[in-house]
Every structure is written in structure tokens, then in C-alpha cells.
Amino acid sequence: MFVLLINPPWEKPSDDNRARFKVVSCLPSLGLGYVAASLEKAGLQVRILDLNIDRMTRRELAVYLEKMDPHPRWCGITSAATTLYAALDIAGICKKAFPEARTVLGGVQPTVTPDLVLACEDVDYVVRGEGEEAMAELAKGNPSEKTLGLSFRQGGRIVHNPDRPPIENLDMIAFPAYHLFSIRKYHPPEALFRRLPAINLITSRGCPFRCTYCATQTIWPGKLRLRSIENVIDELKILTQRHGIREISFSDDTLVTIRPRIVQLCEDILKNKIDITWSCNAIVKFIDEEVLGLMKKAGCHHICYGIESADVQILKNINKNIGLADAERAIKLTKKAGIACRASFMYGNPGETEESMRRTLDFALKTDPDFALFNITTPYPGTPMYQWAKQNDYLLSEDLSLFTASKCLMRLPTASPETIEAATAHAWKTFYKRPRYMLGRLAKIRSWYDVRAYAKAFISLMRFGNKKASK
């Protein structure tokens, strides 16, 4: 039996700050990779079609699918908020090309809004949460009513089976089916990688924190689950030796939470002479100088810290359990270690004011990370913030194509959408157009790759500034 898995294209609106400043990445869907490996382990044939790599028009996709031989019996499509409409459209195209096939949607958005997804008649099933076991059971013929974590239509109503318990031992899951991806076509965000080919890898599922803007607890509820470092090292060996990977983007919500674990990871990378450079996310309060030195030695060249705001009350409002002193210390120590530091901030949090946004920009300028991101707080479905916005009638739109972190979707009583969007644009320009910053980046150029990356980012910034100035 043949199963087709599809990653829908992420369409980048012209006002999306991530695209404008070259922070967009094109990396494989690890979710599809894990599901594909589970299906192969169950004895099924699998193909992955990544429409972010193999770009096609609707007509081209329809022709491509019609020519597919053999036809798949199952079509699995992953979806996040911004790709849901594309995913539903692709489900319809699959239904026309393969009338006998069953369509299954999974991923973040179908998990948090299964009823919305199943309102589309082209979707037969929604897999909520982890999809490895549920998809394999379905494809092998397990009755839908007995498949945990499954939602479907039956007798004119939508049925939600009980949730599937989280997979406790992550080491038991087969590594993603990397051989089904065109690995050399992928790359992390511009200016945030050192070598190619590159790929993403995740060492854990879940997060120990409960920030109100994050849906991780909805997707992966309960405690933080960790793969063993031995298991991670085995995967790194396969990636480097079999696929020639030289750069890893660790996709954990935060890689640095347990000190002995990150120490072991770095020591084992060095002990096994795994030749990679890598980047990761981290929490500021878990960083110290010794760990940073070891991370640098093991190949880490870039760390992203989610700081979000420099206003203490705002941090409390979004349940962001960090201290500003820790954030300032982490940025300083990371730069001292010779690791590029990226700090992420959000404007438009509950309780946001013009003063709190000025305070955040002042903090970014004072601490001077190598890169700063200024996004607009987005109340994604499945998050406590979304529920808060709905209950208080602050939500301006539920058009998921607008959920790009670049448009204000909440009308707060403390700051208008226009004020928040203007402050965000001002923060981008103020941070990056400083002569001190530009000279500092020039001084760090070490290769033609750096020249190309910085030149592209600078041109994008200039265009952005001119566009805003003309409005």
C-alpha cells in the first residue's frame, strides 16, 4: 500500500517581517519525516511531497498527482495556522486525483481546531497530537472508531476519539525518513547557518514552561519528554555520515534546560568527532559561561533567546518566567563566548503600552544582541492568549492567513493596532540602522558567505525603511 505525505507551501505575505529580513528558513517537516518512518516500519510504501521545495501551481499539482503511479490509498497533509487554507485546498486536489484515497490532516492547526478542519468535506480524518502511531494504525486498517487521537465524521456529526497518550520513550521512535527528502535543497534562515547541507533535528518534545502565547502544551501536553543523548548522537552520525550534513538547526522549544544534558551532548559531539556547526533556542536563566564555552567548542555558533518584553508586568501577563537581569547577562556572556546571539521580542502583548514598547526597544539597544527580532504578538488558536482574546472580544480576525506575527490581530484597551504596528516598524529600523551596529557587523565578516548574507539583509532593510517612509 502506498501513502503520500504532503507539506503545503508557506505563502509569505509581502508584509511579513520574517521574509523581509531574510529570517525565513526552508527546512523539512520533521513531523512528516517521523510519520513516514513509522509507516515504513509498518511495511508501507511512502512518498513525501514538499511543496516548499517542489513549487507548483494548483494546476501543476493536479497534473503531477494524476500522473502518479501507483495512486496512493492514503494522503496525509500537515498544517500550521498559516498553511491551513493551502492544506485544505490540497486535500481537495488529492480527492479529485485519487477518488478512492482517504485524506488525513495532522499537525498543529488540525490538532487545535479539528472541527474547523472537518467542516471541509475533502478531509476524511484529523489526527490530533503525535501522528506516528495513529497514521500507521489507520493505514494498516485499524477501525477509525478504535484509533486513539482521531477525529472524523460519522452519521452527520463529528466524532472525537479519546486522546492518544504521549509516547513516553522517544528513543523507541524511528528516526525521520530523511531519505525521502531532497536534503540538499533545504537551509536554515539566511545568515543563521555556517555550512550546507543543513537540516533540523529535535531532541525533546514539550516545554517545561507555560507561556500564554505558545500552543506547545496543547500539542505535546504534560511533562517535557527527552530523548537520550546516545539516541541523539546516533542520529547525528547517520546525518553526517550517510547524508553529508554539516549544519544542524536544533528545533527544540529550548535545547538548554538541564545543565548535565547539554554538557553531555556537547562532550559526546566532541568525543565522537562529529563535524557539525549548529544553532539552537535557549532560556536565558539556564545559561552560564562554562556551558557556553563548551557549546562553542562543540560547534554552536548561534543561540536564540525568547525575551519578548523588557517590561516586568508584561512578562507576568504572558507568564514568561524570566528575569531581565538574566536576559542581559545571557546576551553578554553569549557574545563573549563568540557565539552569535539573537534576541526575540514581541509587541502587542496583553497590557502593552507605548511606554512598555519603548522600554523593550531601549533594552534591545542597551544589550545589543547580534540580531534582534521584533514580531507582533499573535494569539494562535490553541493558546491561552487566544482564549483570553476571544473571551474579551479583542480578536480582530480569525483569518488564519494573517497569523504571521507581522500584523496586529488584537485590539487591546492599552494600545491600538496602528500604534503597535508603527512601534514594531520603528523598532526594526532603529535597531538595524545604527552606524555602530552596521560597523560591528562589517567587522565580523569572515567569508564571502557573510558578505552575501549581510548584503541581502541590508538591501531588504533599506527597502523596508523606504516603503514605510512613503506611507
Q: Given pLDDT bands bounded at 50, 70 and 90, which one contains residue 448?
A: low
Nearest to 346 by CA among 159, 164, 214, 160: 214
Q: What is the pLDDT of residue 469?
A: 41
CA angle, residues 195, 276, 443, in degrees to nearest 5? 50
**Which position has the grid cell 538541564?**
258
Identify the helix (H) or strand (E) that includes residue 407: none
For residues 256-276, average pLDDT: 97
**Cα 433 to Cα 469: distance, rounded to the nearest angstrom:** 14
User: What is the residue type of 386?
Assistant: Y
Q: How far is CA 403 from CA 129, 276, 378, in A?
A: 21, 34, 6
Q: What is the pLDDT of residue 468?
A: 45
Among 46-55, 192-201, 357-366, name the most confident range.
357-366
Q: What is the pLDDT of residue 449?
A: 63
Please say if the pLDDT value at position 206 is more than 70.
Answer: yes
280, 193 contact by CB (below 8 A): no
Please say if the pLDDT value at position 15 is more than 80.
Answer: no
Please say if the pLDDT value at position 22 is more than 70.
Answer: no
Q: Given pLDDT bands bounded at 50, 70 and 90, which one contains residue 453?
A: low
Please write the tens of the pLDDT for every residue from 317-374.
999 999 999 999 999 999 999 999 999 999 999 999 999 999 999 999 999 999 999 9
30, 176 contact by CB (below 8 A): yes
Flag the least confident range among 78-92, 247-261, 307-321, 440-454: 440-454
**Cα 74 to Cα 46: distance, rounded to the nearest angstrom:** 10
Residue bearing the bigger pLDDT, 13 or 214: 214
445, 451 contact by CB (below 8 A): yes
**Which position has the grid cell 499573535?**
378
**Cα 17 to Cα 453: distance, rounded to the nearest angstrom:** 17
Please say if the pLDDT value at position 9 is more than 70.
Answer: yes
Q: What is the pLDDT of residue 225?
A: 96
Beta strand 2-7 with 45-50: parallel, antiparallel or unpaired?
A: parallel
Beta strand 247-250 with 198-201: parallel, antiparallel or unpaired?
A: parallel
Task: Tell me the fold of 187-432.
Answer: TIM Barrel (3.20.20)
Cβ neighbourhood burial of 67 (10 Å; 0-12, 13-18, 19+): exposed
Flag the least confident range among 9-23, 135-149, 260-274, 397-411: 9-23
Q: Given pLDDT bands bounded at 50, 70 and 90, which one contains residue 441?
A: confident
Please say if the pLDDT value at position 454 is more than 70.
Answer: no
Question: How many residues are listed for the chain in this entry?
Answer: 471
Q: What is the pLDDT of residue 34?
A: 98
Q: What is the 3-state secondary structure (H, E, C) of 357-408?
A: HHHHHHHHHHHCCCEEEEEECCCCCCCHHHHHHHHCCCECCCCHHHCCCCCC
Neighbours of 17 (CB within 10 A): 19
Please say if the pLDDT value at position 246 is more than 50.
Answer: yes
395, 367 contact by CB (below 8 A): no
Q: Where are the domains of the chain?
A: 2-160, 187-432
Q: What is the pLDDT of residue 1?
A: 82
User: What is the residue type of 98?
Assistant: F
CA angle, residues 179, 65, 84, in degrees to nearest 5? 80
User: What is the residue type of 351?
Assistant: G
Q: How far is CA 273 from CA 35, 265, 268, 276, 337, in A?
A: 30, 12, 8, 9, 21
**Cα 283 to Cα 302: distance, rounded to the nearest angstrom:** 13
181: CB partners within 8 A, 6+ apart: 28, 33, 48, 50
Cβ neighbourhood burial of 50 (10 Å; 0-12, 13-18, 19+): buried
398, 335 contact by CB (below 8 A): no
For residues 220-225, average pLDDT: 87
**Cα 187 to Cα 200: distance, rounded to the nearest angstrom:** 9
**Cα 215 to Cα 202: distance, rounded to the nearest angstrom:** 17
Domain 2-160 of CATH type 3.40.50.720: no
Q: Could you give phi then psi for residue 98, rounded to 5 degrees?
A: -130, 80
Q: What is the pLDDT of residue 457?
A: 59
For the chain, what percent of residues have pLDDT higher than 90?
80
Beta strand 204-205 with 225-226: parallel, antiparallel or unpaired?
A: antiparallel
Q: Given pLDDT bands bounded at 50, 70 and 90, which one contains residue 50?
A: very high
C-alpha cell at 468: 514605510
Among 190-194, 251-255, 266-270, name the most confident range.
266-270
DSSP 3-state assignment of 431? helix
Please write the tens of the pLDDT for every residue from 88-134.
999 999 999 999 999 999 999 999 999 999 999 999 999 999 999 99
